[in-house]
Chains A and B, each alone.
Chain A
Amino acid sequence: MNEDEMQAALRSEHAQTPWQDVLFEGLKRGGIRQVPYVPDAGHSHVIRRAQAEVGMKAYPLTTEEEGIAALCGAWLGGERGVLLMQSSGVGNCINMLSLLASCRFPFLTIVTMRGECGEFNPWQVPMGRATPAVLAAMGVTVHRIDCAEDVANTIDLAIHDAFLSEQQIAVLLSQRLLGRKNWTD
């Protein structure tokens, strides 16, 4: 199979699977062992699966920047990890992101977006709008996933680039993918 056929097969294989499971399977396949997270509804499925997975260590943070330092320590010790956070948390990370650039630590974060189209809470908008620029300013490559069909391939490529090319990668899960938060129940 060539690259296009492989991706088509991957998409077809995952067509019936919820994208959250596809995302988790991608992390597992990519050898992710540490999953520091700041709780978020969009990540709750992956957090639950990571907690239940033998060989993965999922742990909560008090603030997102802790996770960056923890993943650098993990890499020093030979383990791959992923930081799960919300767009509002990206702002908490700015100086700690310099650690990645200074030492060229591989880095992968998956960011659930707030403040995009369909946002009910205007207080989420400024950081949501600034998130891609803030990450880019600190040397992090930003990928965005807008639809479920792109999850598997984007996660696989992000893991490849982060850990084999020592890049710093953020995958943004757009509000279009996550759906609107329901405020009326």
Chain B
Amino acid sequence: MLQQEIAAQLDRRQAVATLLRDRGDLLVITGLGSPAYDAMAAGDHDRTFYLWGAMGGAAMMGLGLALARPQERVAVITGDGEQLMGVGGLLTIGAVLPKNLAVVVLDNRHYGETGMQPSHTALGIDLVGIARASGFAWCHSVTDPRGLEELRSHLHEAQGPGFASILVKPDSPSRALPPRDGVELKNRFRRQLGLATI
């Protein structure tokens, strides 16, 4: 097995703070674990839905949301382990081709929440290549701050579906815990879209 030797320099907290700066009307779904903490640390928002479970479901949740809100932009921010568990979802997104959806993977090449075991991306699996082969309209591998700024503007403007893998340092910054009442997360999200809650 191939252990890739790429020195990641980007800090995950700063990367997510950059992506969500001046986020406007952006709708955000986060995968469970560190991506949820990173998004929370960047500032809690009614237009962010944090997953606390349902591993492998973040990108597909983004697809359902993007299809329901074609006039708005949807960004999924998740981790390499979470995306690998639902890798078929990338194929489904490629089959549907929603223009307003972007999937961003914070790739630290490890399962940070469960003991830092190396993930498949540490062993040579190329998620950007999978997205490209699935027909995503744009696919980026982000390794520096300039690439992050470009990705931020793509989240708001580029015709998708888009996919980006951001290579981040495999550290675990302190947890910034989002609310974990799923019913409330769901209702506040719908409320700010003007949708009825039960």
**Residues of A with Cβ closer than 8 Å to B?**
33-34, 36, 57, 59-63, 65-79, 81, 95-96, 98-99, 102-105, 165-166
Besides A76-B61, A77-B68, A77-B69, 8 new A-B residue pairs in contact (Cβ under 8 A), listed by A number: A36-B64, A69-B64, A71-B64, A73-B63, A77-B65, A79-B68, A96-B57, A103-B182
Q: Is the CB of A104 within 8 A of B60?
A: no
Interface string of B38-69 (1 = CB under 8 A from A): 00000000000101111111101111111111
Indicate if B183 sits at the interface (CB-CB under 8 A). Answer: yes
Q: Is the CB of A33 within 8 A of B60?
A: no
- B71 CB to closest chain A CB (Å) equals 11
With A34-B67, A57-B67 known as contacts, the answer to whether A76 contacts B92 (CB < 8 A) is no
- B113 CB to closest chain A CB (Å) equals 16
With A34-B64, A73-B63, A103-B183 known as contacts, the answer to whether A78 contacts B88 (CB < 8 A) is no
Cβ of B49: which chain A residues have Cβ within 8 Å of it? Answer: 76
Closest B residue, CB atoms, query A164: B198
B interface, over-half SS: helix
Complex CA–CA separation, A96 to B54 (angstroms):
5
With beta carbons under 8 angstroms apart, the residue of A34, A63, A95 that contacts B54 is A95
Closest A residue, CB atoms, query B194: A78
With A76-B186, A104-B182, A105-B186 known as contacts, the answer to whether A61 contacts B92 (CB < 8 A) is yes
Q: Is the CB of A70 within 8 A of B60?
A: yes
